[in-house]
Structure 1
């Protein structure tokens, strides 16, 4: 809203003397630079937040994969022991 009023003021001053027109052009340049800086900061903040979110998701998936791998190893060990015990029982 503030930018809208600033732009309206710039437009009104544009109809004035050459000095006022020069000041108007400078004001418009400053408004544009401020808007570009604000958008740049917003983009950087968004990129940083996305990087943190993706990093967190990746760590969660890595931890889940490790837990599943450990559970599968434990299940294989338990099954192997049970089969070995069954084989020993048959042999006796």
Structure 2
């Protein structure tokens, strides 16, 4: 009987240890899963943060590029406007010079016409006077 009780006690101890090992194994697996999940979550968070930082840097680079483009466009516009103003000034000076030259030419022509008219009138008067003088002499 002693052997039966000892055998029963041994079987009970073995069952308890098997159950205990099984529970330890399950708890260890659960802990491993928890650690793995935490590591995955941490990795995802790090990746998300890195992506967000990369996007922010890309956005800043794009904004700086856009600002540089806008500045270049503004400078080009100012240069074009200055060139247009210089062209307009040159055209105005050229037009004024042409008009002044035309006015001088017109004044010279009018003076010539007036001088020719005076000379013709004087010649006509001289011819009339000569004809009258010849008529008195004859």
Unaligned runs of 5+ in 1: 1-15
The DSSP-based 3-state class of the residue aligned with 1:17 is helix
Q: Pick from 45, 67, 82: which aligns with 2:97? A: 67
Aligned residue pairs, count: 77
User: Which structure carries more helix by proportion?
Assistant: 2
TM superposition score normalised by structure 1: 0.81
Unaligned runs of 5+ in 2: 1-45, 123-138
CA distance in 2, matches of 1:19, 1:89: 103
1:41 corresponds to 2:67: no
CA apart distance, 1:35 = 0.6
Larger Rg: 2
1:30 corresponds to 2:46: no
Q: Match for residue 86 of structure 1?
A: 116
Q: Match for residue 49 of structure 2?
A: 19
Structure 1 moving runs of 4+ over 3 Å: none
CA distance in 1, matches of 2:102, 2:84: 27
CA apart distance, 1:85 = 0.6
CA apart distance, 1:56 = 0.1
TM superposition score normalised by structure 2: 0.55
